[in-house]
């Protein structure tokens, strides 16, 4: 009888520990399971060059079709400007990203972190080229080689102090993934990204990708390699089940691919696409 009691007690402790462990790790469970609730669509190879997961660096420049089509001037959309300031009145960004950013800063406000400022957002190729000519290669990238040319990245500051010292910067490093953002150029990943540490530069990639990247401490470069290698993964996060699949075009002009009922598609800006389905 005593032995049975000890076994039951041990089982309860294991369950409790498992719950705490999963909660600490953002309640993410990753596996190779595939969805059975699929249909098929045909997509063209130019889809490689647009979407929220595009890799932009010195080897993979922005294709013009990859630039977000919903770019807005923030000062003209006050409904997206609650809880932060702008460095100037010419800052533009994807409206989708503006909505996510507003949700994020409102969440930070609940933690008494509320001195955010957007210093830079979307830049056209012409604006990027002008910045490059004025600042030089030590401070700016050539036109087409900056994430700011997409409309998915923000340079975020604090109105109180430098970002690497500000509560705003620390809060974002710890929490931005919950809203689909990543710190694009971390301090310990410069050899991978090719860019020096930028505590102000955040990139929108969307969920569940930001959650996986945070969980596994991956840069966008590493994450795209991870998905390409795995080919297909299943992710449980916050009560939702996601299926992520990678397809390599390998010179094909189109591909027939499986998708779930609700899905998003993004190219990697190299040779493949990532399909994210949700059930």
Residues 6+ positions from 228 with CB-CB distance below 8 Å: 246, 248, 268, 272
pLDDT at 140: 85
- 19, 20, 56 from 26: Cα distances, Å: 11, 10, 28
Q: For the chain, which residues make up each domain, given as ranges?
A: 24-53+217-279, 62-204
- Which pLDDT tens digit goes with each residue over 71-123? 999 999 988 888 899 999 999 999 999 999 999 999 999 999 999 999 999 99
Closest by Cα among 175, 253, 261, 187 to 219: 187
pLDDT at 187 over 70: yes
- Which pLDDT tens digit goes with each residue over 121-170? 999 999 999 999 988 887 888 999 999 999 999 999 999 999 999 999 99
Buried b (16+ CB within 10 A) or exposed e, 11-44: eeeeeeeeeeeeeeebebebeeeebeeeeeeebe
Under a CB-based contact definition with an 8 Å cutoff, are residues 54 and 150 in contact?
yes
CA distance 44 to 64: 16
Q: DSSP label at 63?
A: P
pLDDT at 207 over 90: yes
Average pLDDT over residues 201-223: 97
- Which pLDDT tens digit goes with each residue over 221-263? 999 999 999 999 999 988 889 999 999 998 889 999 988 888 9
- CATH fold match for the domains 24-53+217-279 and 62-204: no
- Which pLDDT tens digit goes with each residue over 21-78? 233 234 556 555 555 667 899 999 999 999 999 999 999 999 999 999 999 999 999 8
Residues serving a catalytic function are: 198
pLDDT at 96: 95
Q: What is the CATH number of domain 24-53+217-279?
A: 3.30.200.180
Confidence of residue 14 (pLDDT cuts 50, 70, 90): very low
pLDDT at 147: 96
Q: Which CATH number fits domain 62-204: 3.30.1380.10, 3.30.470.10, 3.40.190.10, 3.30.70.360?
A: 3.30.1380.10
Q: Which helix (H) or strand (E) holds 40?
A: strand 38-44
Under a CB-based contact definition with an 8 Å cutoff, are residues 144 and 125 in contact?
yes
pLDDT at 260: 83
Under a CB-based contact definition with an 8 Å cutoff, are residues 183 and 201 in contact?
yes
Confidence of residue 279 (pLDDT cuts 50, 70, 90): confident
This prediction's pTM: 0.86
Q: Which residue has the tokens 């705003």?
A: 168
pLDDT at 229: 97
């Amino acid at each position: 009888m005593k032995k049975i009691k000890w076994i039951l007690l041990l089982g309860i402790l294991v369950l409790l520990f498992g719950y705490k462990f999963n909660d600490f790790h953002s309640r993410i469970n990753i596996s190779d399971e595939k969805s059975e609730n699929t249909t098929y669509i045909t997509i063209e190879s130019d889809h490689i060059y647009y979407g929220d997961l595009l890799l932009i660096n010195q080897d993979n420049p922005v294709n013009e079709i990859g630039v977000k089509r919903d770019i807005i001037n923030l000062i003209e959309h006050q409904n997206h400007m609650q809880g932060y300031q702008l460095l100037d009145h010419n800052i533009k960004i994807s409206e989708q990203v503006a909505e996510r950013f507003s949700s994020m800063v409102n969440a930070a406000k609940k933690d008494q972190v509320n001195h955010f400022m957007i210093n830079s957002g979307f830049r056209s190729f012409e604006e990027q080229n002008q910045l490059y000519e004025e600042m030089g290669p030590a401070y700016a990238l050539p036109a087409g080689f900056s994430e700011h040319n997409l409309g998915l990245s923000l340079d975020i500051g604090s109105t109180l102090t430098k970002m690497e010292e500000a509560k705003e910067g620390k809060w974002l490093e710890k929490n931005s993934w919950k809203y689909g953002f990543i710190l694009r150029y971390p301090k310990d990943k410069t050899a991978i990204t090719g860019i020096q540490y930028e505590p102000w530069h955040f990139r929108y990639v969307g969920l569940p990708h930001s959650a996986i990247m945070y969980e596994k401490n991956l840069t966008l470069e590493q994450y795209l390699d991870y998905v390409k290698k795995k080919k297909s993964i299943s992710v449980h996060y916050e009560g939702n089940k996601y299926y992520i699949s990678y397809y390599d075009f390998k010179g094909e002009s189109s591909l027939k691919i499986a998708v779930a009922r609700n899905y998003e598609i993004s190219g990697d800006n190299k040779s493949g696409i990532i399909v994210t389905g949700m059930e």
